[in-house]
Every structure is written in C-alpha cells, then in structure tokens.
A = this chain, B = another copy of it.
C-alpha cells in the first residue's frame, strides 16, 4: 500500500518501453501482439516488483466493461437468497468479477429502480429474481443488449435465459408421496403472487391430485405477501376447523412452511398426528422442530453457480448461444411429518 498508485506508465518507464507494450502484457495479450518472451518476462517482473494494481475506473472507461455483475433478489436477508448470493459471489470471484446486490422486496417499482442504478453503474450483466408486476420492465431490459439471467422464476412469455427449479415436479413429488402415505385430503398453501414458480407449484399439486382421482379434494389457499403470519393463522384455522378438515398440507415455500408450523403449534395441532406436512427447502429452523420434517429440497447452491455460469457466458460470447436455460431437479426428503397414516 504505497503512497502513490503505480500505473502502467511507471512500469513502462522502469522497463524503458511504451505503455502499449505493458498493457498488452498485463492483459495476457502478449502472444497475440507478438511481444517477445524476454520482454513479457521483464514487464511482468517489474509489475510485480512495483506491486502494480490496474485502475478499474480507467479500464472500465476505456473498454466499456466493468467486470461487475448486478444481482437483484427479493430479500438478501432471506436465507434462500442469502445462500444463493453467497454462491454467486464465490463463483463470480473465480472469474474475477465483482458482484453488487440489491433487494426488491417483491416490489416492481423498487426493482426497476435497482435495475436503473445498476445499469447506470455500468454492470456487464444482471441476474434478477423477477417479482410480481415486473414483466414489462424485464421485457424492456431484455431488448437491450445487456446480458440477463432470471433466477428462481421465469417470465414464460419472454425468451430469457434462466435458472429455475422444476417446480411442477417438486410439488408433484410431494403430492404423490402424501398419497402413497395414505392421505387423500391434501391441500396447498401458496402465495397469491402470480409468479412462474408459484404457479408451477400449484399445477404440480393439482394435476397430480387430478391424475390420482382426487380432483374434488384440490384446495389451494393463497396468502398475500404482506402480513403473512396473520393470514396463515387464518388459513390454518380454516383448514382444520372445516367440516372436512384437511389431512395434509403442502407449503409452497420455506417461509410459508415455517409460519405454517408456527401457526399449527399455536392452535395445538400436532404434526403429524393431527395433520401431515410437507415443507419447502431445508432450514435450520426445521432442525429444532419436535419431529423431522418431510420437505422438497432445492439444490440451492447450484442456483447461484449456474446463474453466474450462464451470465458470464452471455457476457463473454455476446453473440451466439444467447438464450440458455437450466432447470434444476428437486428432491423429496422424507421425514416424520408425513408418516404413514
């Protein structure tokens, strides 16, 4: 950490060459610009000796690229997204990219603002978890030449690279499992946000029920994203105090599962004796629960990893293979919360 920053010019002077040559070598374009081996070596040595650190602002200004990617999730403090963020960070660092994060709070206006800030900052690409109402903004963004990868949710009518779970399969697995365990009145608790992942999860559940001849028992309870605890308590009461109470509940997300279990506990409804439960995502919370939970496991780390892979390919190829998408497979983890009836 010296007083004055070392520039390419200092190296050039020290070695006695032009700055161009130094630039070539520092960018590993030596062979391409046929710099002699000897010179390459000398420049590299001097750079190391002087502890040269390239100035990113200058680089970015000149080249128009920043080696920075922007990531917008719903809420970085939500464990699901925090885990993904960590993975994105790790993988991006490997490619020498820096990441800037933003949280949309499932608010389309905030999301738009974040996109503007990030585009403005000059990010080379964006990884975005689209939220309810953001379709138009995303559509506009996709028309831009800026590489873009959607995460966790797609916008089916738009052709955009994305990394998502096979959500239909996820809830189909859960539903089949419960049926196999002897449950019939299986209901689902989901969000009222019309997002691809939620919709697919609902479809996975309802189509499986239908296939198994349980169409009449299909019941999807949709919770508003605000005031989750209150709403979920209401739903739990509805479900359990009905004249035909449900025998099992599938929660469509991790947060819903946790709040749902809390609500069940509050009303002294025991899992699985009074009602069976399938949750979503592993979570530390479940590990302190009185019984082991059956849940759909997402390969969370892969979300982050693959999103970065896709995005960086998009950034560095620019032309071909523009749209590429990845669908990850869910897994059913069997616990006691759905044991045989």
Contacts and interface: CB of A to CB of B under 8 A. Distances in A.
A56 interface: yes
Contacts of A56: 120-122
Interface of A: 1, 53-58, 60-61, 66, 75-79, 82-83, 85-86, 89-90, 93, 98-103, 116-117, 119-122, 140-141, 143-144, 258, 261-262, 265, 283-290
A77 B66 CA distance: 25
A1 B258 contact: no
Pairs of residues from A and B, 7 with the lowest C-beta to C-beta distance, nearest first:
A57-B60, A82-B82, A57-B61, A77-B86, A285-B285, A288-B289, A284-B285
A127 B283 CA distance: 28
A273 to B, nearest CB: 15
A58 B55 CA distance: 12
A261 B285 CA distance: 11
Contacts of A100: 98-100
A338 B269 CA distance: 25
Given A61-B55, A284-B258, A117 B98 contact: yes
Contact of A288 (B93, B103, B286): B286
A76 B66 contact: no
A82 B76 contact: yes
Nearest to A140: B1
Contacts of A79: 77, 79, 82
A173 to B, nearest CB: 23
A257 to B, nearest CB: 10
Contacts of A78: 82
